[in-house]
Structure 1
């Protein structure tokens, strides 16, 4: 039996190490561990990057659309491993292929991000990702990532 789950912001915070201003996922609509995830990013004019990108025509930077797709992929990886982010687990990019940007993402848009697992072998992950606004494709890419454990200094 396939388990489909949704996640609110408190559950997302348990699975991603990101915090403001780099937390990009607001809600997970559905997640099927080992297969796919569908997540939301509500794009507000109050985002910290809009005053500089661009002052008279605000557009969400493409690199942050990719970051949103990567965070959705990270949630899928953590849920697939039945694990949560912690202070000694980091999710690193190792490659991006076929990144395309079809339409600008503007304040007021709701970015729907889909990620599906292409493969997972020896700690390496490959995801096929897509970002949509109002049912129209705005970006797509294949992301390669790895989960790593790091040494965390002991605070005294």
Structure 2
């Protein structure tokens, strides 16, 4: 992994590489970006709407949204990889969730660290793995595949 310069940490960097936008953008900034790995982070505001309905008396971040953060990091990694090689045709779309493990709860006010890594590229398919950490401990691990669509 290579160190990032400050301009790469900005939202504009992220939004130039993936189509996701608020309120469904789960990456705040990129911490590191290499040829096969990415590390990002997201602060989960205490007033995030999802906490009002996902166990109001015991708010926790839905595991599916934590996985989505990993998928978005993977999509950004794919987009950045393709950026230097060819004209990008389509957007990275999730095609398979191979497995997910939920190990720790994530709640309001937590900052999550998101990591995604390329395992293998077979034709148009990108097989990846990723994780979400909270307070330096694994919260989610997931393996998935993406392909360019559109």
TM over 0.5: yes
Q: Deviations over 1:28-78 (max 9, x none)?
A: 001002x10001011112222111001111100000001000000011111
- Are the equivalent residues in 2 in contact too, given 1:29–1:40 (CA < 8 A)? yes
- Are the equivalent residues in 2 in contact too, given 1:102–1:138 (CA < 8 A)? yes
Correspondences of 1:49-68 after superposition (within 5 Å)? 49-68=50-69
Alignment correspondent of 2:117: 116
Correspondences of 1:66-145 after superposition (within 5 Å)? 66-82=67-83, 89-145=90-146
Name segments (4+ residues, structure 1) moved above 3 Å. 2-6
Unaligned runs of 5+ in 1: 151-156
Shift of the alpha carbon at 1:98? 2.2
State how far apart, in whole Å, the 1-side matches of 2:29 and 2:14 are.
7
Inter-CA distance 82–3: structure 2 relative to 1 (3 Å threshold): farther
Alignment correspondent of 1:154: none
- Are the equivalent residues in 1 in contact too, given 2:63–2:102 (CA < 8 A)? yes
Unaligned runs of 5+ in 2: none
- Are the equivalent residues in 1 in contact too, given 2:2–2:32 (CA < 8 A)? no
Aligned residues: 144
- Are the equivalent residues in 2 in contact too, given 1:97–1:142 (CA < 8 A)? yes
Alignment correspondent of 2:48: 47
Q: Deviations over 1:92-126 (max 9, x none)?
A: 11111220000110011111011110011211101
Alignment correspondent of 1:20: 22
